[in-house]
Amino acid sequence: MGIQVSSGTGGGKALFYKINQKDGCFQQGSGPDKVKFEPGKTALAGILKGFKIEENEYEGVKSEEIRLYLADPDPAQPNMYASMTISSDGAPSAFAMRTLAKLVNANFNEPVFLTPYLLEKGSPIADTGAVYDNDVTGVSIKQGGQKLKEDMGTTDNKLPERPTVMVNGKPLVIKGREQKDSSGWVPVLDGLLDRLHSALKPAQQVADSHNIDPAEAAAAAQAATSREGMRARA
């Protein structure tokens, strides 16, 4: 399985992919050697075995990244890591939360198919007659041929509205964009990560027959009860 458009090398070291949230695609590598896979037509398939939270900092901006660890059901194929940013400068990513809200509904003893997509500005919105005002990206997740639906864990299954940040009675605008207070999203992200971690525990008890290195599997399955704990153990 793995990336469906690539050919496997057979039992090699784990492969690393990044979910490009701006372009709605998987990418591999960086710089001049960076490879981008086609949005909406490239799926990463594997059995989710665990995840880590990693902190990064670039030009003074701190961010958090989740790294999903997936085992290829075919023992001849390498296992995989797929990463995406879950927060930047303390603000949770709506893209990441919508992806996690689907992933928490998966059966972690069976493969999931992750497909990043891009709906370009002007594309029709299904069954509405309207079109998208801006580019829209996301990740479709399928299992057993069925799309997994979002479960945010909120009362209305939606992300809370974000109030505009006000300074001296006026909206705070940076680089032409009104700044929003995302603090109400933090507990939603924490809840999704906790639910994902809890849901993975029963799957870890299943006999491992997917060619996973024991040290990698142990690291991926480390217990944590909060994002702080997940980071500390990453």
Confidence of residue 3 (pLDDT cuts 50, 70, 90): low
Q: How far apart are CA 64 and CA 85, in angstroms?
A: 6
For residue 223, with 0-12 CB atoms within 10 Å meaning exposed, 13-18 middle and 19 or more buried, which class applies? exposed
At residue 203 the predicted structure's pLDDT band, cuts being 50, 70 and 90, is low
Q: pLDDT tens-digit profile of 98-117?
A: 999 999 999 999 999 999 99
| Low-confidence winner among 55-64, 119-128, 136-145, 192-201 (lowest mean pLDDT) | 119-128
**pLDDT band at 207; cut points 50, 70, 90:** very low
CB 67 within 8 A of CB 47: no
For residue 176, name the pLDDT band (cuts at 50, 70, 90).
confident
Q: Is the pTM of this model over 0.85?
A: no
Q: How high is the pLDDT of residue 228?
A: 56
Pairwise CA distance, residues 41 & 52, whole Å: 27
Q: Euclidean distance between the first and final Cα of the chain, in Å?
A: 27
Tell me whether residue 30 is exposed, middle or buried, using C-beta atoms within 10 angstroms of its C-beta: 0 to 12, 13 to 18, 19 or more.
exposed
Q: What is the DSSP string of 23-37?
A: TTEEEES-GGG-EEP
Residue 218: its H or E element: helix 214-220
Where do we find the tokens 């399985």? Answer: 1
- pLDDT on residue 149: 96
Where is pLDDT greater, at 132 or 36?
Answer: 36
Question: Exposed, middle or buried: residue 118 (CB in 10 Å: 0-12, 13-18, 19+)?
Answer: middle
- Tell me the pLDDT tens digit for each residue of 21-62: 999 999 998 888 889 999 999 999 999 999 999 998 888 889
**What is the percent of the chain with per-residue pLDDT over 90, rounded to a whole number?**
53
pLDDT of 59: 84
Question: What 3-state class would DSSP assign to 95?
Answer: helix
pLDDT at residue 170 is higher than 80: yes
Cα within 13 Å of Cα(17), Cβ side: 29
